[in-house]
Amino acid sequence: MTSKFLRFTLAPAALLAISALAQTGSAATPSGSAAAPTAPSSAATTPTTTTPNTGTKVGAINIDGAILGTNEGRRDMEALGKKFEPKQTELKNQNDELEGLKKQLSTQQDKLNEDALANLKKQIETKQKSFDRALQDAQEEFGGQQQEIANRILNKMAPMIVKYAQENGFGLIIDTSKPWPQSPVLMAGQGVDITQPVVEIYNAQSGVPAPAASGAGASKPTGPKPTGTAPTKPATPAPKTDTPKQ
């Protein structure tokens, strides 16, 4: 019940936000009154610079790691984990009750009469459905609120990524949040990774202090976790060994 539930689906949002900013930042400034204004992109805010990007270097950033590495991300994800602790306890109690009934069925089914056996099986079936539904609802609610936090931070981080790339000669930034073959990036060395500089820039501009360390463990949040009685979600892929771990 305390395993981490950090399945992110940020890559599409990150690509939309950053590419929209990069395209706007690389466009030439319109001259004269004939230039028609363009509608702002819904994926991200307007960049702070319109200087054409002439960089040729290729950089990499772990978007998921960058979001979780910011003080704001750590603070809000930890708060979200604490918010869902009562729900975790409730789900654990439901699961324990269900496992108790299953154990009773396993050890006593040969001793129960037909009616008692049918009643026990019915209880298990009813409680299993109730548990599965509650677990799914909790996971969806947790995942949705987690995504809201991530999208909010990404919307503010995207202009910083573009600005950093333009100022440091990068013409292309790739996202290494997912390992190959889930992404087209086979490998990315530390020498091209800009995750940490972007996190430091974000922390400086946000003004959010680093959250107090909660014990010796990691600061990532926990969320509703499937048990052996319900289908499990895919595990979060392990981070690439050659990119900085946030």
pLDDT tens profile 124-181: 999 999 999 999 999 999 999 999 999 999 999 999 999 999 999 999 999 998 888 8
**pLDDT for residue 18:** 52
- Average pLDDT of 76-97? 96
* Rg of the chain, C-alpha, whole Å: 24
β-pair partners for 31: none
**pLDDT for residue 220:** 52
**pLDDT for residue 42:** 37
Residues 87-133: pLDDT tens digits? Answer: 999 999 999 999 999 999 999 988 999 999 999 999 999 999 999 99
Strand-pair category, 170-175 with 57-61: parallel
Mean pLDDT for the chain?
Answer: 76
Give start and end residues of each alpha helix (H) in the chain.
11-26, 63-69, 71-83, 85-108, 114-167, 195-206
Q: Is the pLDDT of residue 243 over 90?
A: no
Residues 6-28: pLDDT tens digits? Answer: 434 444 444 444 554 555 554 44
Split at pLDDT 50, 70, 90, the class of 31 is very low
Q: Among 66-80, 90-104, 176-190, 208-222, which stretch is predicted with the lowest mean pLDDT?
A: 208-222
152 and 79 in contact (C-beta within 8 Å)? no
What gap in Å lies between CA 157 and CA 201, rounded to an integer? 9
Residues 45-68: pLDDT tens digits? Answer: 434 444 455 678 999 999 999 999
Angle (CA) 225-227-228 rounded to 5° is 155
pTM: 0.65
